[in-house]
């Protein structure tokens, strides 16, 4: 084994959680190594995203523009055939003032493309990203994690040392136990998912053709996610009683489920199943719902599926992974800068992360009660999150990932200001193309400046004093710094 290399932080895994935390730590000038066992692009499930991720966190990562230009399907909200209402019902993110305007949508993404954008962005931001480099173990000394061992491109075992190791290796993590953590599986969400891909499936009528369609049926529920005008991700989430059928003959199982669900059967009537490439097989996932007993230990932090995941309904996985990545980055940056002690910094990370996880967990338990109307689900969301002025806003904010003040007022508010300025800049560009005489005195650069200032004022007026950083969770607690990437003590801020 060659002599150990030294970094400030080693991140294990290059999914959304790993890319987020590594980029946000590297942006603060620290040396970050990211070790990924696969070669990207690699397949992953989790294709329906939330506005909090594609605008809020993506803006902090500096990748929101690239995501906007990537051509992903625009998701305005969700359409559900769920609960006591026999007819499908639809919600739109635009209902919420926290998302209205240019940030009132999310995307349905092919994860091979989305995750590659985030990983390449980490590289652009100075992270040393090494693919085909599986981590095989953790280096521990004096009760503290000090680094990892991994297999390098030549198949040799190498050791790397770091002040912090971040486990972002997803649901298959073998490392989380080294943070003194146990994985506790939910007794409630014990379903399994069978999923595959179709070409030529039907679409919901405009303007909702990009919505996720979730349809409850006798065995469980289906997701129907339009990934492109022709490609659709279709998954059946069913109870354990279907496990034998699913694992024995997935094709027959899928056909039986489709036949039992008239709305999905109708959508797939003219479609053909993809049979080649990464989308050309049936895939099964189970045992996904768990939460670890600790999210950090001395020298080690867990983010994304390595720490917790609730359930596929409402697409919270990538949101929790990237938000957890942001919270971990704040703690790591603060500790490396020596401005906040380790115990306080990571306790804050864990408190906020658990709170977000808890919101989804509590709400989803009630959402699986099929005897309720959508109004009752909206009411339940307001009861759980206790922030929005109306039930429907509370629901939309929760499932958009902006229920907590810190995401809405900090992360998302920044993204909205940037998106609003971007829209105004486009308006300015259109104005500048007009003949000068038609605009009078305020033309050219003068007009640009005026409109730019107008945009900034409008943004502030729209978002008020809340724009910028969210407050502390508790009196005297920590809150985000002005750039959003560290913790500061509230009283000294
Ligand atoms: P991952 O995306 O799993 O990334 C982990 C990375 O670590 C991988 O690239 C892996 O190769 C790498 N790795 C693993 N071990 C090692 C090692 N030893 N060394 C180095 N690298 C390693 N979420 C949504 O937001 N929307 C959805 O619609 C949605 N649908 C879902 C449907 C189902 C059935 C399930 C089970 C989950 C769904 N999710 C969804 C959740 C989503 O898949 C995850 O929450 C998300 O991928 C977590 O991101 P991550 O970065 O933590 O982990």
- Burial annotation 394-418 (CB, 10 A radius, 16+ → b, else e): bbbbbbbbbbbebbbbbbbbbbbbb
| 3-state SS class at 137 | strand
In short, whether 18's Cβ falls inside 6 Å of ligand 1 is yes
| Separation CA 412–CA 51 (nearest Å) | 8
User: Is residue 145 within 8 Å of 112, Cβ to Cβ?
Assistant: no
Q: In terms of pLDDT, which residue wins out, 357 or 412? A: 357
Helix/strand/coil percent split, the chain, to 5: 45, 25, 35
Of residues 93 and 489, more confidently modeled = 93
Measured by CA distance, the residue closest to atom 27 of ligand 1 is 46
Ligand 1, atom 53: closest residue by C-alpha:
170
Between the CA of 96 and the centroid of ligand 1 the distance, in Å, is 28
182 pLDDT band (50/70/90 cuts)?
A: very high
Tell me which H or E stretch contains 80: strand 77-81
In eight-state DSSP terms, residue 269 is T
Nearest C-alpha neighbor of 195 from the set 112, 148, 150, 253: 253
Please tell me if the CB atom of residue 131 comes closer than 6 angstroms to any atom of ligand 1: no
- For the segment 251-267, what is each residue's pLDDT rounded down to a tens digit? 999 999 999 999 999 99
Please indicate whether residue 17, judged by its CB atom, sits closer than 6 Å to ligand 1.
Answer: yes
Per-residue pLDDT at 362 exceeds 50: yes
Whether the CB of 75 sits within 6 Å of ligand 1: no
Mean pLDDT of 388-401: 94
Residue 436 predicted with pLDDT over 90: no
Query: Would you state the pLDDT for residue 468?
Result: 47
pLDDT computed for residue 434 by the predictor: 65
pLDDT at 165 > cutoff 80: yes
Determine the distance separating the centroid of ligand 1 and the alpha carbon of 376, expressed in angstroms.
31
- Give the number of the atom of ligand 1 that is nearest the alpha carbon of residue 47: 28
Distances (CA, A) of 22 to 44, 123, 181, 331: 20, 9, 22, 12
Nearest-CA residue for ligand 1 atom 35 is 312
Ligand 1 nearest atom to the CA of residue 115, by list position? 2
Is ligand 1 within 6 A of the CB of residue 12?
yes
**Index of the ligand 1 atom closest to the CA of residue 13:** 7
**pLDDT, greater one: 148 or 416:** 148
**How crowded is residue 3: how many other Cβ atoms within 10 Å of its Cβ?**
7
Mean pLDDT of the 133-143 span = 97
CA 14 to centroid of ligand 1, rounded, Å: 9
212 is written with which tokens? Answer: 């996720």
pLDDT at residue 429 tops 90: no
Mean pLDDT, rounded, for 71-91:
97
pLDDT per residue over 101-120, tens digit each?
899 999 999 999 999 999 99
Q: How far is CA 481 from CA 154, 160, 452, 478, in A?
A: 42, 30, 25, 9
> 432 vs 159, which has greater pLDDT?
159
> Which pLDDT does position 304 carry in this prediction?
98
Label residue 155 by pLDDT band (50, 70, 90): very high
Please choose from 308, 312, 401 the residue to mutate so as to test ligand 1's pocket, defined by most ligand atoms within 8 A of CB: 312
Take atom 4 of ligand 1 and give the residue whose Cα is closest.
15
Q: Is the CB of 192 under 6 A from ligand 1?
A: no
Q: Percentage of the chain surpassing pLDDT 90?
A: 80
- Give the pLDDT score at 467: 46
Nearest to 108 by CA among 65, 78, 64: 78
pLDDT value of position 448: 59
Whether ligand 1 lies within 6 angstroms of the CB of 78 is answered as no
In whole angstroms, what is the distance from residue 112 CA to residue 25 CA? 24
Q: Is the pLDDT at 222 greater than 70, yes or no?
A: yes
Specify burial of residue 16 (Cβ count, 10 A radius: 0-12, 13-18, 19+).
Answer: buried
Strand boundaries in 113-217, DSSP class E: 128-130, 135-141, 144-151, 157-167, 183-185, 192-199, 212-217
Cβ of residue 311 lying under 6 Å from some atom of ligand 1: no
The tens digit of pLDDT for each residue in 441-493 reads 555 555 556 555 565 555 555 554 444 456 787 777 899 999 999 999 876 44
Ligand 1: centre distance to CA 17 (Å) = 8
Please indicate whether residue 472 or residue 379 has the higher confidence score (pLDDT). 379
Residue 24 CA, chain-centre distance (Å), reads 15
pLDDT over 70 for what percent of the chain?
91
Tokens representing residue 138 in the block: 């953790």
In this structure, the residue with its CA closest to atom 33 of ligand 1 is 312
> Distance, CA 167 to ligand 1 centroid (Å)?
12
Range 341-352 average pLDDT: 96
Query: What gap in Å lies between CA 165 and CA 163, rounded to an integer?
Result: 7
- Asked if residue 212 has its Cβ within 6 Å of ligand 1, the reply is no
Cα-Cα end-to-end distance for the chain: 47
Does residue 42 surpass a pLDDT of 80? yes
Q: CA 370 to CA 377: how far, in whole Å?
A: 10
Residue whose C-alpha is closest to residue 56's, from 397, 438, 393, 386 = 397
From ligand 1's centre to the CA of 306, what distance in Å?
A: 9
Does the beta carbon of 13 sit less than 6 angstroms from any atom of ligand 1?
Answer: yes
pLDDT: which is higher, 248 or 433: 248
Q: Report how far residue 320's alpha carbon sits from residue 176's, in angstroms, rounded to the nearest whole number.
A: 17
User: What is the rounded average pLDDT for all residues in the chain?
Assistant: 91
Calculate how far, in angstroms, residue 21's C-alpha sits from the geometric centre of ligand 1: 15
Out of 138, 170, 322, mutate this one to test ligand 1's pocket (max ligand atoms within 8 Å of CB): namely 170
Question: Taking residues 51-76, what's their average pLDDT?
Answer: 97
pLDDT at residue 354 is higher than 90: yes
The more confident residue out of 414 and 146 is: 146
> Is residue 43 predicted with pLDDT exceeding 50?
yes
Question: Which has the minimum average pLDDT: 174-188, 269-283, 323-337?
Answer: 174-188
Q: Looking at residues 15-43, what average pLDDT do you find?
A: 98
Q: Are strands 89-92 and 212-217 parallel, antiparallel or unpaired?
A: unpaired
How far, in Å, is the centroid of ligand 1 from the Cα of 46? 7
| pLDDT tens per residue across span 294-311 | 999 999 999 999 999 999
Mean pLDDT on 187-210:
96
Residue 109 contacts residue 115 (beta carbons within 8 Å): no
- Reported as type and span, the H/E element at residue 101 is none
Neighbours of 143 (CB within 10 A): 9
């Amino acid at each position: 084994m060659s002599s150990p290399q030294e970094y400030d932080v080693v991140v294990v895994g290059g999914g959304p959680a790993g890319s987020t935390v590594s980029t946000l730590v590297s942006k603060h000038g620290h040396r970050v190594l990211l070790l990924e066992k696969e070669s990207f692009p690699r397949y992953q499930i989790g294709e329906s995203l939330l506005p909090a991720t594609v605008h809020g966190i993506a803006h902090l990562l500096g990748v929101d523009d690239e995501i906007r230009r990537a051509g992903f399907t625009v998701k305005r909200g969700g359409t559900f055939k769920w609960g006591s209402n026999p007819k499908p019902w639809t919600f739109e993110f635009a209902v919420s003032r926290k998302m209205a305007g240019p940030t009132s949508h999310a995307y349905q993404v092919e994860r091979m493309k989305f995750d590659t954008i985030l990983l390449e962005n980490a590289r652009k931001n100075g992270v040393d990203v090494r693919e085909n480099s599986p981590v095989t173990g953790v280096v521990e000394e004096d009760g503290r994690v000090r680094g990892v061992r991994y297999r390098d491109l030549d198949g040799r075992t190498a050791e790397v040392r770091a002040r912090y190791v971040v486990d972002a290796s997803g649901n298959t993590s073998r490392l989380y136990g080294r943070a003194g953590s146990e994985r506790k599986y939910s007794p409630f969400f014990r379903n399994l998912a069978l999923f595959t891909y179709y070409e030529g499936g039907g679409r919901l009528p405009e303007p909702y053709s990009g919505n996720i369609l979730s349809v409850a049926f006798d065995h469980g529920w289906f997701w129907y996610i339009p990934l492109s005008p022709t490609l659709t991700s279709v998954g059946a989430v069913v109870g354990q009683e279907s496990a034998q059928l699913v694992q024995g003959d997935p094709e027959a199982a899928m056909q039986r489920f489709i036949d039992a669900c008239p709305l999905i059967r109708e959508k797939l009537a003219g479609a053909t199943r993809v049979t080649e490439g990464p989308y050309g097989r049936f895939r099964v996932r189970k045992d996904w719902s768990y939460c670890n007993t600790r999210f950090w230990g001395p020298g080690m932090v867990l983010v994304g599926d390595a720490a917790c995941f609730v359930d596929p309904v409402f697409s919270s996985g990538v949101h929790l992974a990237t938000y957890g990545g942001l919270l971990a980055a704040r703690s790591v940056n603060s500790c490396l800068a020596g401005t906040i002690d380790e115990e306080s910094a990571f306790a804050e990370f864990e408190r906020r992360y658990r709170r977000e996880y808890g919101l989804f967990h509590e709400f989803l338990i009630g959402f699986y009660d099929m005897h309720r109307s959508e109004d009752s689900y909206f009411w339940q969301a307001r009861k759980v999150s206790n922030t929005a002025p109306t039930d429907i806003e509370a629901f939309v904010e929760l499932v958009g990932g902006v229920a907590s003040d810190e995401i809405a007022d900090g992360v998302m508010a920044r993204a909205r200001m940037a998106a609003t300025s971007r829209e105004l800049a486009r308006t300015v560009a259109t104005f500048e193309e007009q003949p000068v005489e038609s605009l009078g005195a305020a033309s050219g650069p003068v007009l640009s400046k005026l409109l730019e200032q107008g945009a900034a004022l409008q943004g502030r007026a729209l978002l008020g004093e809340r724009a910028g950083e969210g407050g502390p969770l508790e009196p005297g607690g920590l809150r985000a710094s002005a750039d959003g990437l560290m913790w500061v003590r509230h009283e000294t801020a």
